[in-house]
A = this chain, B = another copy of it.
Amino acid sequence: MAKKNKLRIIPLGGLGEVGKNMMAYEYGNDVIVVDAGIMFPTNDMLGVDYIIPDYEYLKKKANRVLGLFITHGHEDHIGAIQHFIEDIPVPVYATPLTRGLIEAKLHRNGAQHKAQLKTIHAGETTRVGPFTLEYFHVNHSIPDCVGMGITTPAGLVVHMSDFKFDQTPVDGWPTDFAKLAEFANRGVDLLLSDSTNAERPGWTPSEAVIQPAFEKVFAEAKGRVIVATFASLISRVQQVADAAAKHGRKLAFAGPSMVDNVKIARKMKYLDIADDLIVSIEQAQQMQNHKVAIMCTGSQGEPSSIVGRLSAGTNRQFDLKDGDTIVLSSHPIPGNEETISKTINRLLRRGAKVIHDGIMPIHVSGHAAQEEQKLLINIVRPKHFMPIHGELRQLMRHAEHAQQLGVAPENTIVVENGQVVELVGKRVLRAERIPGDYIFVTGESIGDIDHDVMRERSQLARNGIMLIDISVDKRNGRVLHKPEIITRGFVSPEDAEALIPEVRNVVMRMIHEDGFESERDIISAVKSYLHQQTKRRPMVFVTLSKA
List chain A positions with a Cβ less than 8 A from chain B: 15, 42-44, 46-47, 199, 334-335, 337-338, 341, 344-345, 348-349, 354, 358-359, 391-393, 396-397, 416, 442-445, 448-450, 452-454, 456-465, 467, 469, 471, 474, 484, 486, 488-495, 534-536, 539, 541, 543, 545-547
- Interchain residue pairs with CB less than 8 A apart (9): A43-B338, A335-B337, A345-B393, A359-B397, A442-B535, A453-B490, A454-B489, A456-B464, A460-B464
Q: Is the beta-carbon distance between B484 and A543 smaller than 8 angstroms?
A: yes
Q: Tell me the bound Cα distance from A159 to B57 in angstroms.
A: 63
Q: Is the beta-carbon distance between A461 and B46 smaller than 8 angstroms?
A: yes
Given contacts A444-B534, A444-B535, A492-B452, contact A541 B46 (CB under 8 A): no
Selected from B337, B341, B445, B461, the residue in CB contact (under 8 A) with A458 is: B461
Q: Is the beta-carbon distance between A492 and B449 smaller than 8 angstroms?
A: yes
Q: Is the beta-carbon distance between A460 and B465 smaller than 8 angstroms?
A: yes
- By a CB distance below 8 angstroms, the chain B residues around A199 are 358-359
Q: Tell me the bound Cα distance from A46 to B450 in angstroms.
A: 20
Question: What 3 A-B pairs have minimum CB-CB distances, sorted nearest first?
Answer: A443-B535, A547-B547, A461-B461
Q: Copy number in this complex?
A: 2
Q: Tell me the bound Cα distance from A471 to B354 in angstroms.
A: 59
Q: Tell me the bound Cα distance from A462 to B303 in angstroms.
A: 15
A352 to chain B, nearest CB (A): 11
Q: Is the beta-carbon distance between B469 and A464 smaller than 8 angstroms?
A: no
Q: Tell me the bound Cα distance from A341 to B454 in angstroms.
A: 20
Given contacts A46-B461, A345-B391, A460-B464, contact A445 B334 (CB under 8 A): no
Q: Tell me the bound Cα distance from A459 to B465 in angstroms.
A: 12
Q: Is the beta-carbon distance between B337 and A491 smaller than 8 angstroms?
A: no
Chain B residue nearest to A473 in the complex (CB): B547
Chain B residue nearest to A493 in the complex (CB): B452
- By a CB distance below 8 angstroms, the chain B residues around A444 are 534-535
A448 to chain B, nearest CB (A): 4
Selected from B341, B442, B471, the residue in CB contact (under 8 A) with A334 is: B341
Selected from B42, B450, B458, B545, the residue in CB contact (under 8 A) with A492 is: B450
Q: Which of A442, A539, A543 has the most CB of B within 10 A?
A: A543
Selected from B396, B449, B491, the residue in CB contact (under 8 A) with A448 is: B491
With A460-B488, A546-B547 given, name 19 new contacts (CB 8 A): A42-B338, A46-B461, A47-B464, A199-B359, A344-B392, A345-B392, A444-B534, A445-B491, A445-B534, A448-B491, A448-B492, A448-B495, A448-B534, A453-B490, A459-B488, A460-B460, A460-B489, A467-B543, A471-B547
Q: Is the beta-carbon distance between B536 and A442 smaller than 8 angstroms?
A: yes
Q: Is the beta-carbon distance between B338 and A443 smaller than 8 angstroms?
A: no
Q: Is the beta-carbon distance between A534 and B443 smaller than 8 angstroms?
A: yes
- By a CB distance below 8 angstroms, the chain B residues around A354 are 393
Chain B residue nearest to A474 in the complex (CB): B547
- By a CB distance below 8 angstroms, the chain B residues around A491 are 445, 448-449, 453
